Amino acid sequence: MSGRTQARACPERTCVGCRERAAKSDLLRIVAVEDECVPDPRGTLPGRGAYVHPAVVCLDQAVRRRAFPRALRSAGALDTTELRKALAPEAEATP
């Protein structure tokens, strides 16, 4: 690569799952509400945010390395049940 980057025009964040950088718009913002990870697709919830690809593989990696409590400055573990449902609705639809 040469010349100036387009960082200013396209804000980047690091996915807490796979640790790859991606455009903020390609990642899902996660905030901690009480002891639960809540998806914030519109980016309107207050507080610290963590960014993850909207994919179960990245969520799994983030959970495995306890990235959410670290990124969100939470003292304890965070529940990701609802977040997983949001990312994998088809798994929940099975009777």
Under the rule (CB under 5 A), what is the footprint of Zn ion?
15, 17-18, 53, 58
**In this complex, which beta carbon is closest to Zn ion, that of residue 32 or of residue 52?**
52
- Residue whose CB is less far from Zn ion, 28 or 78: 28
Q: How far is the CB of 27 from Zn ion (least distance, A)?
A: 8
Q: Which is nearer to Zn ion, 24 or 35 (CB)?
A: 24
Beta strands in the chain (DSSP E): 12-14, 21-23, 28-33, 36-39, 50-52
Residue 65's φ and ψ, nearest 5 degrees, are: -95, 15
